[in-house]
Amino acid sequence: MLEVGPEQALAFRVAGHHLHRRTDPRTAVAAIGIQEAPPGWGPVAVHARATAQPAAEDVVLVNAMRGAPHWVLHEDLAIFTTALVPHDAGLARLVGSQVAKELSEAGVAVPEAVRQVSDAARDALAAGPLDRDAFHQALRERLPEALLPWCRGCRSHHVRPGLWRALGPLGVTVMPARATYALAPDAGADPAAAGAELVRRFLRCFGPATHTDLAAWAQTAPAHAKALFGGVGDELEPVRVDGRRGLLLAEDASRLETPPAARGVRLLGGHDPLVGGPHRELLAPDAQVRKRMFPAVGRPGVVLRDGRLAGLWRSRKVKERLEVELDWVAEPADVACEAQAVARLRGCAELVLR
């Protein structure tokens, strides 16, 4: 069995995310999708990977992994949506344990709730896209009270977030603009083929890994993730990383043993695809640093220098000025050029580094 160290595994992941050397925007987005949450951070993630932003006609925004908005290529829609959806018994994982619990207390089975909300959304959007408020109002008009609990934050009745976010993976909705919903196009992909390709892309970006890692990353049922791995079983090879066992595409074994070197500085948001992946100890071996990276609220961003963690950063927009505070965990790096680019992408004309 192939055995590698954590530094090799991290370098493999950095290259899988195209953070070692910038590529074209379509290739960057295709790797594992680009999370566009919190709003406005998708372009920052693309900049770290690509020489330009993707053309609007090439990508679609959709609630995908963990129900979060992601940019994906149009032709990859099924890979990052319907491939995630388990059979009825696993739908509780897709909508989230808290939502499943609330539905049980309301006397509604999760599959039935999913069916009703999906049917209501299709009917509501049949005449065209709706903004968020109009969409939720249309759902109120079509759904029973059991699916419309009171929300203290919004001070209104509306569908539980886990249910309306699941409409993306279910292949019901996309977002032609932020906070605007439309019917998803027919992805037109074979489910088995889409599921197999999801595993391949996951392993190229987060391998060596297991089906349990995929289930946690995507927020899907472990049994469904195991079945997806089974679809590419003859392509996989077992690997150990510092004693931890995982799987990798056999064709990528040589790249794991000798991953390409990363050069330069990258500023990643706290919810960047690399940062949010499994086995966080690869990126941040120090437990105290990991604790600072992943607080309950308000994650800092990450500074990569030559593919390794060099520091953390936080930013604050003050009118047209972006204030960036740096917290180094290794030798400081020159981040001025990258920070200027982030400021522009965040709509700021001025940058202050601290």
* pLDDT computed for residue 178 by the predictor: 85
* Residue 185 pLDDT grade (very low, low, confident, very high; cuts 50, 70, 90): very high
* Residue 158 pLDDT grade (very low, low, confident, very high; cuts 50, 70, 90): confident
From CA 260, how far away is CA 12, in angstroms rounded?
Answer: 7
Domain assignment of residue 106, yes or no: yes
* Residue 103 pLDDT grade (very low, low, confident, very high; cuts 50, 70, 90): very high
Which one-letter DSSP state was computed for residue 184? P
From CA 330, how far away is CA 315, in angstroms rounded?
Answer: 20
Q: What is the mean pLDDT of residues 21-33?
A: 98
Domain assignment of residue 220, yes or no: no
Supply 111's token pair: 């599959």
* pLDDT computed for residue 186 by the predictor: 85
Query: What's the whole-model pTM score?
Result: 0.95
Question: What is the distance between the terminal CA atoms of the chain, rounded to a whole angstrom?
Answer: 47
The structural domain count of the chain equals: 2
From CA 154, how far away is CA 173, in angstroms rounded?
Answer: 22
Cβ-proximal residues to 276 (8 Å cutoff; 6+ apart), any chain: 35, 217
Mean pLDDT of the chain: 95
> CATH code at 302?
3.40.630
From CA 253, how far away is CA 230, in angstroms rounded?
Answer: 19
Edge-to-edge strands, sheet with 244-249: 2-4, 236-241, 244-249
Percent of all residues in the chain with a pLDDT value above 90, rounded to a whole number = 92
Q: What is the pLDDT of residues 261-293, one digit of tens each?
A: 999 999 999 999 999 999 999 999 999 999 999
Among candidate residues 246, 264, 161, the one with its CA nearest the CA of residue 209: 246
Domain assignment of residue 203, yes or no: no
From CA 105, how far away is CA 121, in angstroms rounded?
Answer: 23
From CA 179, how far away is CA 165, in angstroms rounded?
Answer: 12
* pLDDT computed for residue 187 by the predictor: 74
Q: Which of 116, 133, 168 is the last residue of a domain?
A: 168
Q: Which of 168, 195, 228 is the last residue of a domain?
A: 168
Domain assignment of residue 70, yes or no: no
Domain assignment of residue 291, yes or no: yes
Above 90 in pLDDT, residue 157? no
Domain assignment of residue 189, yes or no: no
**Domain hosting residue 115, numbered range:** 86-168
Q: What is the pLDDT of residues 141-153, one digit of tens each?
A: 999 999 999 888 7
Q: Which of 130, 145, 168 is the last residue of a domain?
A: 168
